[in-house]
Amino acid sequence: SQRHPDQQEYLQATREIAGDIIDVYNANEEYQQFDVLRRLTVPERIIHFSVCWLNDAGKVEFNQGWRVQHSGLIGPYKGGLRFHPTVNESILKFLAFEQSFKNALTGLPMGGAKGGSDFNPKGRSQHEIMRFCQTFMTELQHHIGPNTDVPAGDINVGAREIGYMYGQYRNIHNRFSGTLTGKGLSFGGSHVRTEATGFGLIYMLQAVLEHHQQAIEGLRIGISGAGNVALHAALRAAQLGATVVSLSNSRGCIVNNNGFSEADIQWAIAHKANEDNILTALQEHAGGDWHDGKTPWDAPMDIALPCATQNELDEDAAQTLVHNDVAFILEGANMPCTDAARKVFEQHHIPFVPGKAANAGGVAISGMEMAQNASFQRDSYSQIDKTLQQIMRDIHQKMVEEGTHNGRTNYAKGANIAGFKRLADAMVAQGI
Ligand code: NDP
């Protein structure tokens, strides 16, 4: 923390994992001999570059781009690209660090990375977004490849942006290879990849509920965010009979105590790209109350699924949720709960599943996309959906095995220990 006093998100993520695994580390001589804890907190490589591109008015614009390759111990670097004005090195280092643990938890051969730019695509024309993506990829392509580093989408990087970046990569290399995941279905994409993070979150919720002898039907689920993860989690939850009571974005939240129907959510997914604010449009379409500038956490709910961004759910929100008898928290976004919020849940013994486990479905299906590209094969929608359910159940089981003491499961600790052991064992086996 003395070397990086300004990298708060990165310090928050490393402190959190170190606190959970320190006993495992101290009990293992080889881990200490190979200095695995310190080595695992430092990224293997950080690539920082400039992105100069022309806007529609013919003026030069300038952005910064990064790729943080955190750990290649167990497979090619793998993790999303985020385009957002808040992107900086601290955020990408925290995301890459978390990604290494998440990818380890999936059981698949994938290392951890994250990248992106401080470019804000909001209000930009399609041509501007295409030119930005092409210029970004002109530099990034030097550092990635199907066996080296395989980026995917994240905030503001969806199928359209992946398509433009993939096109540029292919133009430069003149070869089809699975260098990016989240591609369109017609050019190497996988079934279920778009839905995977949100659906996987609900499959994890089902595993947690089953472990607590409960079922999802009729439960009130509060969701924040209105992007890829939030809307697909909402869709699967509604399809399984839950009542989805909220969604949100950076401008406010919508609460509907009667619940959004499956058809309403399908409508939001279909119209999201064409609406300035999909949630006010949804309100007109399906009803509910819009709360300007508010988060959804004071609505009564049994389950909270924060699916927007890091540190969006703070201590006050956690206290409100506890006061309203929330029973389970699962993170759909990466680190959406602040340290203080997590402590509140812990004090009240409310099961809390961290993002590195609960949102691992997306990267797991990205791993399947890589395997399909490498073998020039395509698995069916139902095959992949079944695999996703199994992977989420397996991650749940690992957390239970590593995190249960005196009959109570600490999911966060279980996830951190299981991910750490896989990475640390690989580090020891590979020497220095
Ligand atoms: P999207 O860009 O599709 O959606 C992001 C949503 O979050 C939007 O509704 C956005 O609102 C909202 N949001 C962003 N910043 C804020 C903020 N500061 N306050 C309130 N709302 C905000 O992103 P995704 O759904 O893909 O990603 C969401 C989270 O899930 C991220 O943490 C991401 O890292 C994580 N994740 C995503 C995966 C994926 O497969 N996509 C995989 C694993 C994790 P607005 O449009 O108004 O900005």
Measured from the CB, is residue 154 less than 6 Å from ligand 1?
Answer: yes
Q: Which of 144, 177, 210 is a domain's end point?
A: 177
CATH code at position 51: 3.40.50.10860
Alpha carbon of 33 to ligand 1 centroid (Å): 40
Neighbours of 339 (CB within 10 A): 14
**Same domain, residue pair 171 and 206:** no
Measured from the CB, is residue 309 less than 6 Å from ligand 1?
Answer: yes
Residue 241: name the closest of 227, 221, 222, 226 by CA: 221
What pLDDT, on the 0 to 100 scale, is given for residue 3? 76
Measured from the CB, is residue 190 less than 6 Å from ligand 1?
Answer: no
**Same domain, residue pair 203 and 315:** yes
Residue 361 in any domain: the answer is no
Alpha carbon of 158 to ligand 1 centroid (Å): 11
Measured from the CB, is residue 251 less than 6 Å from ligand 1?
Answer: yes
Q: Which domain holds residue 211?
A: 195-350
Number of domains in the chain: 2
**Residue ID of nearest Cα to ligand 1 atom 30:** 333
Residue 359 in any domain: the answer is no
- Choice among 78, 93, 102, 114 that is catalytic: 114
**Same domain, residue pair 206 and 295:** yes
Task: Please say if the pLDDT value at position 376 is more than 70.
Answer: yes
Q: Which of 305, 332, 350 is a domain's end point?
A: 350
Residue 169 in any domain: the answer is yes
Choice from 9, 228, 290 to test ligand 1 binding pocket (greatest atom count within 8 A of CB): 228
Query: Is 122 in the active site?
Result: no
Strand ranges inside 122-251, DSSP E? 149-152, 220-224, 243-249
Q: Quick: pLDDT tens for 39-67.
A: 999 999 999 999 999 999 999 999 999 99
What pLDDT, on the 0 to 100 scale, is given for residue 177? 87
Q: Which amino acid is at 185?
A: L
Q: Which of 310, 335, 350 is a domain's end point?
A: 350
Task: Please say if the pLDDT value at position 198 is more than 80.
Answer: yes
**Residue ID of nearest Cα to ligand 1 atom 27:** 155
**Same domain, residue pair 217 and 334:** yes
**Same domain, residue pair 90 and 122:** yes
Q: Which atom of ligand 1 is nearest to the CA of 226?
A: 9
What pLDDT, on the 0 to 100 scale, is given for residue 98? 96
Tell me the pTM: 0.96
Residue 128 in any domain: the answer is yes
**Same domain, residue pair 169 and 233:** no
Alpha carbon of 110 to ligand 1 centroid (Å): 23
Neighbours of 362 (CB within 10 A): 30
Alpha carbon of 310 to ligand 1 centroid (Å): 9
Choice from 250, 272, 292, 369 to test ligand 1 binding pocket (greatest atom count within 8 A of CB): 250
Q: Quick: pLDDT tens for 139-162.
A: 999 999 999 999 999 999 999 999
State the virtual CA torsion across 198, 355, 367, 64 in degrees, nearest 10.
100
Measured from the CB, is residue 334 less than 6 Å from ligand 1?
Answer: yes
Q: Which atom of ligand 1 is nearest to the CA of 158?
A: 3
Measured from the CB, is residue 155 less than 6 Å from ligand 1?
Answer: yes
Measured from the CB, is residue 226 less than 6 Å from ligand 1?
Answer: yes
Q: Which atom of ligand 1 is nearest to the CA of 360?
A: 43
> Which residues neighbour 157 within 8 Å (Cβ) at sequence distance 6 or greater?
80, 81, 82, 83, 116
Average pLDDT, the chain: 96
Choice from 229, 251, 290, 359 to test ligand 1 binding pocket (greatest atom count within 8 A of CB): 229
Alpha carbon of 85 to ligand 1 centroid (Å): 13
**Same domain, residue pair 128 and 246:** no
Alpha carbon of 226 to ligand 1 centroid (Å): 7
Q: Quick: pLDDT tens for 220-256.
A: 999 999 999 999 999 999 999 999 999 999 999 999 9
Residue 145 in any domain: the answer is yes
**Residue ID of nearest Cα to ligand 1 atom 2:** 155
Q: Quick: pLDDT tens for 91-121.
A: 999 999 999 999 999 999 999 999 999 999 9
Model confidence at 4, pLDDT cuts 50, 70, 90, reads confident
What pLDDT, on the 0 to 100 scale, is given for residue 5? 76
Measured from the CB, is residue 229 less than 6 Å from ligand 1?
Answer: yes
Task: Please say if the pLDDT value at position 1 is more than 80.
Answer: no
Taking the C-alpha atoms of residue 40 and residue 71, their distance in angstroms, rounded to an integer, is 8
Contact between residue 215 and residue 204 where contact means Cβ atoms under 8 Å apart: no
Alpha carbon of 227 to ligand 1 centroid (Å): 6
Taking the C-alpha atoms of residue 6 and residue 17, their distance in angstroms, rounded to an integer, is 19
**Same domain, residue pair 42 and 151:** yes
Mean pLDDT on 72-101: 97
**Same domain, residue pair 30 and 136:** yes
243 class by beta-carbon count within 10 Å (0-12 exposed, 13-18 middle, 19+ buried): buried
How far is residue 273 CA from its own chain's centroid? 20
What pLDDT, on the 0 to 100 scale, is given for residue 6? 83
